[in-house]
Structure 1
């Protein structure tokens, strides 16, 4: 091996590793250990060693494996170079958090949400089944500005977690959060949430008929996000392919159960993510066997119909994401891996690595044998063209399959505390551990400040799950391409997005003030200073103290019957209304409904 050292690598450590392997090199009689020229330091890996040196002595080749082309001869695989480039494919005038968020959920898509929400609410309101005090009876059309405020509040609910939506508008001092009530009333928010819609229900095709789409309710969101994920950003060389889960425990035909996931019940999504960042390049929602979208891409590629469903799923989604014929290296787990899949990917200049189930068709007999026990650190491998299958024993047997790795073992920059010797693992195992976690990283970020809440509609749960994915993707692009010297944290990125959405919807209707009328809104006769005075005499009047009918204690003429009218010579100096003193004067300036106090039998309305 060619020598390559880092400047901070001490030659004393080289001598230490050489001595250790010289002392423990009894697996092969002709193995003489390592010199400094054999040690290559690559991050946590300080050397690569041929796997033959870690094979057991009784590793004989099987005749059936030879007939299939599997041999112990090792050689470098012939792989096409990676021709892609990790880059942003759009020009951005500004690079604030809201600008990255709008790369995925722009105004054009939000206008579709506004249109379909108003259409659904109008139809629901016109059905006439609701009462006068129902929420839908108060519906008013939503605008683009208002829907931005709505989404801003939804994201903010992930930052300020409360158990129930109503508590965000609670006024008790312990849990009071005035931000939500200042931007939108509780009734208006719940009205928009209950009528939120993405498509026209009249275009739905029932099950069993040609063109039936089980994801019809959320199809616009799927199309928007898939196109944006692919068009906005080109991923790096290493990708990970795995399952993600949108939590859901309600009734649903394609709900799945996976005990290995934190959310055991839910909607399964096949995801392709960039290995280093967790950026979701594409996904496919599992709705049962014979996925329509996967079948279309497999037919375009001319794949054999007899291929397994897992092979079609992987190739179909990679084709949908535009990740074939570019030299990408995809890491998968044992649910998908098989020699059949790797052969098909190699024909498309795409390479893969991952764990393997030994019951897959095409696995060599030497790897399948269960009666051959390996000691810790020992390996068995077989190679056919670029395909490499290994069986490695650590704490238990680990089976790996790759079509771009050499049969080598990596010496790690770590030591076993029991034996004080460097830890060794096959190179494909080290790379798999390093690059397989892209989907798990995306899921992990989705769970931070998640906007998911309980709902009775499965498609609404999946919709907000995809909004979460959009936020995480936007955050990853912000970290990669923002010119800010000090990048915002994930929490601050969401907070900045909330502020921008609320400010963009600044002209949206603010909640109306509710509650009792304040003092200034009372009639003028109940406020201020009021004093009695004589009713002034008109010029030429016969009486010096003229009389006028009392405003408070006189009933209407039609209701008087034989009742005498009551007159007084006093009036209010401010209101200029004739009033008997003192009872009528006091009641008129004290009570809103003064007639009910003075004339309870008459039960007249106040003026």
Structure 2
């Protein structure tokens, strides 16, 4: 437990930075080259530099002065002094602030707003990818397509949702190593892709899908590196906290969206499986891994100075809504801390694990075989929220190979939206497919079919592939407005034989016809 010497703003900011840095540490306290504030320092005291030795001597000198002052005033004596010389460390916590659980009106799970609007799997997904987002996609895609393609046909909301449905289904069938042409192949592909839209149309939309007006982007890009994706991102990320209340434990960590193309804020993180990509700060609910808030890391803007206290800003920004509910940011903090921090005393540099906690007051140890402290157990339980999100999203991901970073972020947006929709759906309908172990796969498959069905239903003619034509005929027949046997309709005499009464009418002229004088014709052959 520590106490700062003095009440300057710089010292308070330093302590806040210490807490924020610990809360966003990764699972194994890994340090990456993307952290501009980090300079590696050996863990072993035997390999410490001469500067570190001088710092330790200076800390001992300051400590001796503090002991003398405490003896004169009768104040409690600190046991250690930080390397920076402004924080005293005590063996007890009698004078330090401590965390008391705060009663809250928040009920973990979907909000009332979300529950009232979830009736089908697609309605849960539409809460994230809203009609406003679909219209924004259509507007900018059509604008760019007209400029680049001579034979461009405008994309409407039905076709754009079908395009998203194809991406989701491609993630379910997991053909990420397969070429796009292979997905539409007669022998190796899936009939549902050919039944939804031709390959050339899918490729045309993928090449021209845009998220802003490129002509006015340069002016915005001078102050915002995310200008090509900012408008859609802000609209989407604002929906996340409106639909779900996190539980008591939340986790703030890094997500890396795989991308190796040209990007001004691409990161190299050797601790991640993908190594290269776009870093996103994510706040997750520990119990469900629901992505509650997200922020893309774009480095410093051109012409601006290096950001100071980045960790503190990120944590406070990503927990803003929750902190206000919990008595104006009186949150308990638990996380790993780096050994090279100047706020730590030199005596802690040789420890194997350093945890900073504002929740645990006593060094309680569990009764298990390994005798772990309670702080370690709580940290191990909560640290994997974002890592689990990466795992489940990566299992059925719609990511496709691309050289455009906005499209890579859009793929990740769809993956997170689909997973969050699954969390909401299962919370509202816990009995849904409860006996199956692959519920999320079933959810994504049904969601993909719901998104492509309206586009399939309006095909003007059947595809040449027999399997795709069968899917089109089946969906169009179920969606057809031509019903050969309408129900609750008055029976009338057949126009061709007056001795029979029937409720069936001709779809062309509307006259009543009996079974012997009618024929069944599919909607593809109907004039």
Equivalent of 2:180, from 165, 183, 187? 165
> Which residue of structure 1 aligns with residue 79 of structure 2?
62
Answer yes or no: is 1:444 the counterpart of 2:455: no
Matched position secondary structure for 2:284 = strand
- State whether residues 221 and 463 of structure 1, in contact with CA within 8 Å, keep that contact through their aligned partners in structure 2: no
> Which residue of structure 2 aligns with residue 231 of structure 1?
242
Higher relative contact order (CA 8 A, sep 6+): 2
TM-score between both structures, scaled by the size of structure 1: 0.58
**1:119-145: CA deviations, max 9, x gaps?**
1111223xxxxxxxxxxx432111111
Mapped to 1, the partners of 2:101 and 2:324 lie a distance apart of 9
Matched position secondary structure for 1:410 = coil
**1:476-504: CA deviations, max 9, x gaps?**
12222225353461100101101111223
Mapped to 1, the partners of 2:122 and 2:197 lie a distance apart of 20
Matched position secondary structure for 2:371 = strand
Mapped to 1, the partners of 2:100 and 2:160 lie a distance apart of 50
- State whether residues 240 and 291 of structure 2, in contact with CA within 8 Å, keep that contact through their aligned partners in structure 1: yes
Equivalent of 2:199, from 167, 179, 186? 186
Aligned 1:70-89 pairs, distance under 5 A: 70-74=89-93, 77-83=98-104, 84-89=106-111
Task: Say if 1:399 and 1:200 are closer, same or farther in 2 by CA, change over 3 A.
Answer: same
Rg (Cα) greater in structure: 1
> Which residue of structure 2 aligns with residue 199 of structure 1?
212
Equivalent of 2:358, from 403, 408, 420? 403
Mapped to 1, the partners of 2:199 and 2:271 lie a distance apart of 39
Matched position secondary structure for 1:325 = helix
- State whether residues 337 and 354 of structure 2, in contact with CA within 8 Å, keep that contact through their aligned partners in structure 1: yes
> Which residue of structure 2 aligns with residue 366 of structure 1?
347
Mapped to 1, the partners of 2:386 and 2:313 lie a distance apart of 20
Mapped to 2, the partners of 1:290 and 1:456 lie a distance apart of 23
Mapped to 1, the partners of 2:201 and 2:400 lie a distance apart of 18
Aligned 1:316-395 pairs, distance under 5 A: 316-319=317-320, 322-327=321-326, 348-368=329-349, 370=350
Mapped to 1, the partners of 2:383 and 2:205 lie a distance apart of 40
Mapped to 2, the partners of 1:467 and 1:255 lie a distance apart of 20
> Which residue of structure 1 aligns with residue 446 of structure 2?
496
Residue 514 (structure 1) shift: 6.1
- State whether residues 182 and 511 of structure 1, in contact with CA within 8 Å, keep that contact through their aligned partners in structure 2: no
Residue 179 (structure 1) shift: 1.5
Answer yes or no: is 1:216 the counterpart of 2:227: yes
Task: Say if 1:412 and 1:472 are closer, same or farther in 2 by CA, change over 3 A.
Answer: farther
Residue 509 (structure 1) shift: 3.9
**1:297-323: CA deviations, max 9, x gaps?**
xxxxxxxx996222222223322xx12
Gaps in structure 2 of 5+ consecutive residues: 1-76, 466-527
Aligned structure 1 segments of 4 or more residues deviating by more than 6 angstroms: none
Mapped to 1, the partners of 2:86 and 2:213 lie a distance apart of 59
- State whether residues 410 and 430 of structure 1, in contact with CA within 8 Å, keep that contact through their aligned partners in structure 2: no
Residue 291 (structure 1) shift: 11
Task: Say if 1:272 and 1:208 are closer, same or farther in 2 by CA, change over 3 A.
Answer: closer
Task: Say if 1:256 and 1:510 are closer, same or farther in 2 by CA, change over 3 A.
Answer: farther
Matched position secondary structure for 1:484 = coil
Mapped to 2, the partners of 1:271 and 1:190 lie a distance apart of 31
Mapped to 2, the partners of 1:291 and 1:424 lie a distance apart of 51
- State whether residues 183 and 511 of structure 1, in contact with CA within 8 Å, keep that contact through their aligned partners in structure 2: no
Bigger helix share = 2
Task: Say if 1:464 and 1:412 are closer, same or farther in 2 by CA, change over 3 A.
Answer: farther
Mapped to 2, the partners of 1:281 and 1:308 lie a distance apart of 22
The number of aligned residues is: 376
Mapped to 2, the partners of 1:202 and 1:350 lie a distance apart of 45
Mapped to 2, the partners of 1:255 and 1:365 lie a distance apart of 36
Answer yes or no: is 1:467 the counterpart of 2:491: no
- State whether residues 101 and 471 of structure 1, in contact with CA within 8 Å, keep that contact through their aligned partners in structure 2: yes
> Which residue of structure 2 aligns with residue 248 of structure 1?
259
- State whether residues 165 and 449 of structure 2, in contact with CA within 8 Å, keep that contact through their aligned partners in structure 1: yes
Mapped to 1, the partners of 2:296 and 2:451 lie a distance apart of 29
- State whether residues 289 and 385 of structure 2, in contact with CA within 8 Å, keep that contact through their aligned partners in structure 1: yes
Aligned 1:98-113 pairs, distance under 5 A: 98-113=122-137
Matched position secondary structure for 2:81 = helix
> Which residue of structure 1 aligns with residue 119 of structure 2?
95
> Which residue of structure 2 aligns with residue 266 of structure 1?
277
Task: Say if 1:257 and 1:107 are closer, same or farther in 2 by CA, change over 3 A.
Answer: same
Answer yes or no: is 1:122 the counterpart of 2:146: yes
TM-score between both structures, scaled by the size of structure 2: 0.66
Mapped to 1, the partners of 2:448 and 2:167 lie a distance apart of 9
Equivalent of 1:505, from 455, 458, 464? 455
- State whether residues 250 and 456 of structure 1, in contact with CA within 8 Å, keep that contact through their aligned partners in structure 2: yes
- State whether residues 398 and 415 of structure 2, in contact with CA within 8 Å, keep that contact through their aligned partners in structure 1: yes
Matched position secondary structure for 2:365 = strand
Residue 166 (structure 1) shift: 0.5
Gaps in structure 1 of 5+ consecutive residues: 1-59, 126-136, 296-304, 329-346, 371-390, 392-396, 414-421, 516-607
